[in-house]
Every structure is written in structure tokens, then in C-alpha cells.
Amino acid sequence: MNKPLRRIAIFCGLLVLALLVRVNWLQYVKAEELNGSEYNKRVDIERYKSERGNIIVDGKPITGSIKTDDTLYEYKRTYVNGPMWAPVTGYASQVFGANQLENLEDGILTGNDDRLFFDQTLSMFTGDEKKGGNVVTTLSGAAQKAAYKGLGDKKGAVAAIDPQTGKILALASTPSYDPSTFAGRSNKDSKAYNALQPKNDPDNPMLNRALRETYPPGSTFKVLTAAAGLEHGVIKDVDAKTDSPLPWIMPGTTTPLPNENNIPCKDVSLREALRMSCNSVFGKLGVDVGKDKMLETAKKFGFNEEQFIPVRADASIFPEDINESQTALSSIGQFDTRATPLQMAMLAAAVANDGKLMKPYMIDRLETPGVDVLEKTEPEEQSRPLTQEHAQMLQSIMETVVEKGTGANAQIPGVTVGGKTGTAQHGENNSKNPYAWFISYAKTDQGSPVAVAVVVEDSSANRDDISGGGLAAPIAKAVMQAVVDKK
């Protein structure tokens, strides 16, 4: 081969090599980035060219798909009782994407998950239209309805868990929204979505308050402080007098830690302190346990880390770098202590389950379009924050709160109920209306089928009318009743 031909051959070879490198670069290295690009409409078109699978509660779909007039985006999502279920499903929009279960299980719901390859290949030969698989949840329709109805027009959230398995039974948040209103591509859909944004609606109805909002837990946190006192040997007998002077001056200050309405909290037992919700007793108990052991106990219950159910829940916080007076305030659920309703339901669930905290989860199983099981979630222990003995001691005093204390509004005839009320101050100098809290569990001969946490941000109520026992306990009672009746 003469020299000019050899040069041309080498040049052509380099061009072919460059082409091969480029193709492999795009197909393998850049594939994921290109698939997720906002400019790549093929992914969205593929997602909505066939019916999505459904999200299932109690054996019935709470989602659906309808045919559109669009030749590219052929189907759009619909929802049954959308506002009630939005904190569970999230949304799937042709324009605004998807979130929560609609997003996390998008591969199953669209039928594009690799595990559905056989089903989709088979449909090519049978001529059946491609369909997505189903996501079967752990939710109870009766419990969710009770939670949503109980919250009504109030701003707040409810989380309910089966303490024995970790199954989430209810997850409600109000105010809510209807994902159907912006599932399509019309101007009407865009207006509906934009109207829900925080800049246009200060109530922020798209915020999942059960998972993504942390609140000062107030006196409901005293359950955790009591657990820490028992676990670390500061309290050995829940009916023995405590060394709790009145007034009790917070360490390093000249400021007494006040109790509501001057209740007689001097040297009372842990049982009486929880029944009356004595700040002075639990503030001192937190200091006696110490900030490090309080933090250790809080972490065992799930504080200071995100939870995935599989939807992400924000981390609840027990502050780490604090002095003794701040430890006292943190131990009564104030200062920088913050918690999601899910976290407080986990606290109640661990106590109800004799000290064993089961990992909370919301998906029971994933199914093919033909309802064959692809994947099933098995209950999993997350931690052991309490010994069985201490958990049962704590159950005993929480049940006193409902039988003879501030939680009387949660009583259910024929059912043992344990609980704790909370009225959490917030705002500069506690200037804003407090949050009303209630955490509880119900117990039958078969064990504890449900633990509940309720928080109500009722800014429209008279400040003097806001209390965990008055606003939140009746909602918790309705949710527990719904679960017990179903059992």
C-alpha cells in the first residue's frame, strides 16, 4: 500500500474508532443522565402511553388511569378520594413528574421494571396491551378515613402503626390536595398545580406533615424521658416518690421550671408525674439521666436519622450540644427537640410492643399485572429501646394517663388504651398558638394492634381551648377504634 492510501486508511480507522467510543459513551456512560434529562420527552411519553398499575388498599385500587385525547400522552392518572390518600400515593403528573409511592415504584407501576420483562414480552406475543404492576400497601382504609375525617378542616397530621409488625395503617395530613387536578397537560392542570405552591397558598397543602414536618413534641416526649430514666437506672419504681423539689431551679440559672396551673408535683411518683404532666419532675429527670444517655435513648427510638418507609421521613431531632438547663427543656419536648408524627407513633409503638421497635413500612408487596407476587416486605426489628420489664412499667403509667388523667378522651370501652397528651409551645417567647399532641396505643387480648400519633396546628382556635386531650385525643381514639373494630 502506498503512503497516501495508508494515511487515508489510518484516518478512516480513527474515525470509526471515534464513532465507536462516542456511541459507547452515550449508551453506557451517559445513558442514565440522558434518560433523566428534562429535555428527553421519550421517557415521559413511554410512561403515559399505557395504563399505570394501581396502588392498592384493602384489596381495592385507590388510583386509576383514563384515556386522553393526546396522541403522545395517551393515559393520565386518576385518584379515588385523592385528598385523603395524597400523603400515601403522592402524585403522578404528565408535566410535573411524580413523588412518593408514585415516584419510588414508578418502574413497577409503568411496567418498565426489569422484573416485569417476562410479562411485557409475553404481551407482545398475545397482543395484550402493556400494563403496569401493582403496589399493595399496608394501609387500613377505615383507619385512614377516621384520621382524615378527624382532622377535618384543621391543620395537622396523623400516623398510625401496627406495633407488632411495623405496618403503617394510616398516614393523613391536612390541608391536603387532589393529585387528579394536575395529572394532565392542560392549562387548567398547570394553574391547579401552581395554586398549591407555598407562595400562592400559605397553608402549603402539598406538604406531607406526617413525614416531612417536625414539631416540638411537648409533653408527649416525657414518655421517652421516662423510658430513659428506667433504662439507665435513675427510676426503679414508677410508684415510688421521686426527689423532685418544687420549685425546681434549672441548673446554671435562677429560673424555676414551671408546671401548668400550679399542679402539686413535689416529689410525686413517675406515674403521677406523667398523669399530671409535671414539667419539673421530667425536666429534673432528664438532667439526672444526663444529655448523653438521653441522646442515646432518643436514637434507639429513631431520633436523629431519616426514616424510609420507603418514602423518606425527615429526621426527628434531640439536640446534641446542650447544657443542663437546655437538657431539662429538651426532656419535656421543648427547646430544640423536634419530631415528626411518624416518629412519635414509633415511640408509642415500641412501648406497646414490650420494648421492641419494628421498622415501619408502607408497602406490603409488589405485584405483576397478573397479580403474581414480585416482592413481599417482611417485618423487621429496628431496635430494642426498652427491656420488656421497663416497657410494661411504662405501659402501666401511660394507661393511668387515659384512665385517670389528661388522656380520658381516648378511652374505648372494653379496650385498654395507653396515651400521653402534649401541648407544645412555639413561636418567639411562645407567642403563637401551641400545637396539640396525643400519642397512644390500644391493647386487646391479642396484643396491641395499633399505635397512633396526632398533632393539630389549630391556629384558628382560642389559645385556652388548645390541648392534646381536647383536640388530638378524640382523633386518636377514632383511629384506634377503626383498627380494633376491623380486627
Catalytic residues: 219
Peptide bond into 310 cis (omega under 30): yes
Cα–chain center distance at 301: 14
Paired strand residues for 173? 157
Cα radius of gyration (the chain)? 27
Element (H, E) at 123: helix 117-126
Question: Which runs of consecutive H residues, i.e. helices, occur in 291-340?
Answer: 291-300, 324-330
E strands, 19-165, are 55-57, 60-61, 63-67, 75-79, 92-93, 97-98, 134-137, 155-161
Contact between 227 and 390 under an 8 Å Cβ cutoff? The reply is yes
Question: Which runs of consecutive H residues, i.e. helices, occur in 200-301?
Answer: 209-212, 222-231, 270-276, 279-289, 291-300
Burial (0-12, 13-18, 19+ Cβ within 10 Å), 337: buried
Instruction: Tell me the helices (H) and strands (E) count for the chain, helix number first.
Output: 18, 18
What gap in Å lies between CA 194 and CA 200, rounded to an integer?
7
For 241, the grid coordinates are: 416518690
Residue whose C-alpha is closest to residue 473's, from 425, 420, 414, 410: 410
